[in-house]
A and B are shown apart, each in its own frame.
Chain A
Amino acid sequence: MNNIEIGHGSGGKLTRDLISSLFLKYLSSSELHSMEDAATINIHSGKTAFTTDSYVIRPLFFPGGDIGKLSVCGTVNDLAVSGAIPEYLSLSFIIEEGFSLNHMEEIVKSIAEEADRSALKIVTGDTKVVERGKCDGIYINTAGIGTIVRTFTVNDVSSGDVVIVTGTIGDHGTAVALARNEFDIETKVESDCASLDSLLTPVFDINGVKWMRDPTRGGAATVLVELSEETNLGIRIVEENIPVREDVQFIADMLGYDPLYLANEGKAIIIASEEAAGSVLEKLHTHPLGEYAVIIGEISSDFQGLRLKTKIGGERPLDMLEEDQLPRIC
């Protein structure tokens, strides 16, 4: 038996075998091992962040990660940019009948490794199996709970604030596009898929940090367009300052993508006061994930919407795209 069978999702013996031989082998929390219908967890009395996400990425394995690692990073990052320390994670699998158990094991291993990195406890989960052709290999749903240590709100964003990005943009989108093997291109581009809590938590302490977001689907431009809409403020970003790997830019040009709209899975956009910017960058630069952190723009009350100052000094508006450049990117 090397593949997932319908019985693995039935709740009977095969399900129990899968839990004990695979999930409990790699996932170590006592809450999970108690095998109750619901995990009992302690939440401190302060504010709590609670998030959920689903992962349907194609392909399941890509340079720099896989759907398992991605599902942990994505959830951790949603908590981290909300000013929370990630603590608990739930994990639900929807698996296609016939899915390789070896692949399943690789995915669960990735999940365990990534959760350990953030000292995140996986406390509850579920497995369902659907017939062949009814899902594309495996889908993962998560929920995450974290303790809020700093509250960020768009209401604090004001004219004169700066826009910081923690590193190069478009890596994930490019790596996944290439991993689909639809283009005959060989490169070393890897997904930036990473948990950002250890990068961002130290920044929580800096006064003048106002808002954060991880620019996943839709990329950096989409996040900033949303921010400008929520604040009714203008955002001007400077093309020359936006960090894009040379190979990512080359591939994007070739395939007609714009890195500003390509997904990232290990980057954050931080809005901070001009005075705080130096300290924020200093902290970010001490972390490997923040080595290339840089100011890419500023908030202005002189106009509304997102604008790009181009390399020749021209200006043009950036809008949301009608649809994702690449569907099923996370």
Chain B
Amino acid sequence: MNKTQDIIKAIHSLVPPDRNLKIMNVCGSHEHTISFSGMRSLMPENLELIPGPGCPVCVCPESDIIHAIQLSKKEEVVLVTYGDMVRVPSKKGSIRTDGINFRIITSPSEAIRIAESEPDRTIVFFSIGFETTTAPTAAILETGIPDNLFILSSHRLTPTIMEVLVKDREIGIDGFVCPGHVSAIVGSNAWNVFSEKYNIPTVVAGFEADNLLLGIMEILLQVKEGEFRTTNVYSGVVRPEGNEQARKLLDKYFKVSDVNWRGIGHIPASGLELREAFSDRDARKLFKLEEIREEKIPGCICGNVVLGKAYPADCRLFKKSCSPKSPQGPCMVSGEGSCNIWYKTYK
């Protein structure tokens, strides 16, 4: 018997026979590991592993995508953003299909290089994602960016959305597996609120199947003992206080704001916008961008998939009109999106 099998055995013995449990992961890479390793096939029947809001491009509001497309159509502008983002659909198409001047970058420092090599053009960095991608954007602001580079910030806060999920009784979360990368920035202490205030067993886990299984086992231990804490099983990478320097930079350049989440709606204090002191770098201010009303995609249940209220396979578009080649909703686009992952791992 190897270690992995021992953990799986322990999971089976720890699950209370008389109730159904739902453990939510909040990270596309976790969902990737769970699905590709066939982990669900190894779980007890009354233990559900549900994917939550772990995919950055999935929650980016349609309004920002439309603004990005429109900005890329301005002659003087070059829009730069991450690869997955250009393929996310909106009612006005995607950046890839309907944008004109846009480039894909893999890190914010590339945005600087583009801005330096094209000083006569206005470079707009459509900066999206959770704390993991916000930190590098704050870092370039700290080192200084060229005058022709502006930020279209569409960053979101993971702990805030998780708190929304906890309060939604329809979902009924019995345990959280918190994202490893985000935790490296915010620290495992950032999740204490869930175990302390809401009595939800909480773990920080890495991305190997073994480590995730260990996290699940720890959650079940807490369920059994009735004692709730935030346990870090990814301590090689994540510290309790996180990356203090990155957190300081986040705080220096960004302030918490009320924002929309795609398919979910308006959530107070769940996003990050540039602070007033740096508003001269803010593409929203420069181009006076106003919020555009989101339109529902007929039949698409991405919002509920992100909230853990539905599985991708529950969607009537799944594997029919919606596929990675022609995604109808945002969760089918990125390799971190639940629908995209399920497309490849479930029949």
Q: Are A310 and B325 in contact (CB under 8 A)?
A: no
Q: Check if B42 sits within 8 Å of A313, measured CB to CB.
A: yes
If A317-B347, A322-B325, A323-B325 touch, whether A312 touches B35 (CB-CB below 8 Å) is no
- Complexed CA–CA distance, A283 and B4 (Å): 36
In the complex, B40 has a CB within 8 A of chain A:
yes
Contact flag A316-B325 (CB < 8 Å), given A310-B36, A311-B209: no
Q: How far is it, in angstroms, between the C-alpha of A164 and the C-alpha of B309 when the chains are bound?
A: 42
Q: Does B8 contact A (CB under 8 A)?
A: yes
* Interface pair A310/B347, CB less than 8 Å apart: no
| Interface status of B210 (Cβ within 8 A of chain A) | yes
Q: Once the chains are docked, how many angstroms separate the CA of A312 from the CA of B42? A: 9
- B38 on the A face (CB < 8 A): yes
Give CA–CA (A313, B213) in the complex, Å: 12
Q: How far is the CB of B242 from chain A (nearest CB, A)?
A: 26
Closest to A256 in B: B335
Q: Once the chains bind, are A317 and B346 in contact (CB under 8 Å)?
A: yes
| Residue among B5, B39, B324 making CB contact with A322, cutoff 8 Å | B324
Q: What chain A residues lie within 8 Å of B213 (beta carbons)?
A: 312
Q: How far is the CB of B109 from chain A (nearest CB, A)?
A: 15
Q: Bound complex: CA of A323 vs CA of B38, how far in Å? A: 23
Q: Which residues of A contact B324 (CB under 8 A)?
A: 322
Q: State the majority secondary structure of interface residues on A.
A: loop
- List residues of B (11-48) whose CB comes within 8 Å of A's CBs: 35-42
Q: Is the CB of B325 within 8 A of A314?
A: no
Q: CB of A319 within 8 A of chain B? A: yes
Per-residue 0/1 for A240-258: is the Cβ within 8 Å of any B Cβ (1 yes, 0 no)? 0000000000000000101
Of B37, B40, B323, B344, the contact of A311 (CB 8 Å cutoff) = B37
A316 touches B209 (CB 8 A): no
Q: Is A315 an interface residue (CB 8 A)?
A: yes
A319-B347, A322-B323, A323-B325 known; A313-B5 Cβ under 8 A: yes
A125 interface residue per 8 A CB criterion: no
Q: Which B-chain residue is minimally distant from A321 (CB atoms)?
A: B344
Judge whether B39 and A314 touch: CB under 8 Å. Answer: yes
Residues of B within 8 A of A256 (CB): 335
- B36 near A316 with CB under 8 A, answer yes
A305 & B42 in contact (Cβ 8 Å cutoff): no
Contact of B345 with A by CB under 8 A: yes
Q: In the bound complex, do residue A313 and residue B325 qualify as a contact, i.e. CB atoms below 8 Å apart?
A: no
Q: Which residue of A lies closest to B42 (CB)?
A: A314
Alpha-carbon distance A317/B37, docked complex (angstroms): 11
Residues of A within 8 A of B4 (CB): 312-313
A53 to chain B minimum Cβ distance, whole angstroms, is 25
Interface flags for A293-330 (1: CB within 8 Å of B; 0: not) read 00000000000010011111111110101110000000
- Which chain A residues border B36 with CB–CB below 8 Å? 310, 316
Instruction: Give chain B interface residues in 301-347, CB to chain A under 8 Å.
Output: 323-325, 335, 344-347
Q: Residue among B36, B38, B41, B325 with the most chain A CB within 10 A?
A: B38
Which residues of A sit under 8 angstroms from B347, Cβ to Cβ?
Answer: 305, 317, 319
**Most A CB atoms within 10 A — which of B323, B344, B345?**
B344
Q: Which residues of B contact A309 (CB under 8 A)?
A: 38
Nearest Cβ on chain A to B55's Cβ, whole angstroms:
14
Q: How far is the CA of A314 from the CA of B8 in the complex (A)?
A: 10
How far apart are the CA atoms of A237 and B179 in the complex, in Å? 31
Closest B residue to A258 using CB positions: B344
- Chain B residues, Cβ within 8 Å of A322: 323-325
A321 to B323, CA, bound (A): 10
How far, in Å, is B291 (CB) from chain A's closest CB?
Answer: 33
Task: Give B165 Cβ to nearest chain A Cβ, in Å.
Answer: 26
- Nearest-Cβ distance from residue A235 to partner chain B, whole angstroms: 14
A319 to B345, CA, bound (A): 8
Shortest C-beta distance, A250 to chain B (Å), equals: 15
B213 nearest CB across to chain A (Å): 7
Q: Check if A308 sits within 8 Å of B323, measured CB to CB.
A: no
By a CB distance below 8 angstroms, the chain A residues around B345 are: 316-317
Contact call B323/A312, Cβ cutoff below 8 A:
no
- Write out the residue numbers on chain B whose beta carbons fall within 8 Å of the beta carbon of A317: 345-347
Q: What's the least CB distance linking B252 to chain A, in Å?
A: 32
Residues of A within 8 A of B344 (CB): 258, 319, 321
**Chain A residues with Cβ under 8 A from B35's Cβ?**
316
Which residues on the B side are within 8 Å of A305 (C-beta)? 347
Query: Chain A contacts of B37 at CB under 8 A?
Result: 310-312, 314, 316
Interface string of B118-148 (1 = CB under 8 A from A): 0000000000000000000000000000000
Which residue from chain A places its CB closest to the CB of B4 in the assembled complex? A312
In the complex, which residues of chain A have a beta carbon less than 8 angstroms from the beta carbon of B335?
256
A319 to B324, CA, bound (A): 14
Interface centre among B5, B37, B213, B335 (most CB of A within 10 A): B37
Per-position binary interface string of chain B over residues 87-117, scored 1 when its CB falls under 8 Å from any chain A CB and 0 otherwise: 0000000000000000000000000000000
- Within A246-300, the residues touching B (CB, 8 Å) are 256, 258
Contacts of B42 in A (CB 8 A): 312-314
A312, A314, A316: the one within 8 Å of B210 (CB)? A312
Q: Which residues of A contact B40 (CB under 8 A)?
A: 314
CA distance A313 to B8 in the complex (A): 10
A312 B38 Cβ-Cβ under 8 A:
yes
Give B210-235 as 1s and 0s: 1 = Cβ < 8 Å from A's Cβ atoms. 10010000000000000000000000
Q: Are B38 and A314 in contact (CB under 8 A)?
A: yes
A313 contacts which chain B residues (CB < 8 A)? 4-5, 8, 42
**What 6 A-B pairs have minimum CB-CB distances, sorted nearest first?**
A314-B38, A316-B38, A310-B38, A317-B347, A314-B41, A315-B41
Q: List 21 A-B contacts (CB under 8 A).
A: A258-B344, A308-B38, A309-B38, A310-B37, A310-B209, A311-B37, A312-B4, A312-B38, A312-B39, A312-B213, A313-B4, A313-B5, A313-B8, A314-B40, A314-B41, A314-B42, A316-B41, A316-B346, A317-B345, A317-B347, A319-B347
Known: A314-B41, A319-B344. 8 other contacts (CB 8 A): A256-B335, A258-B344, A305-B347, A310-B36, A312-B210, A314-B42, A316-B37, A322-B323
Residues of B bordering A, CB below 8 Å: 4-5, 8, 35-42, 209-210, 213, 323-325, 335, 344-347
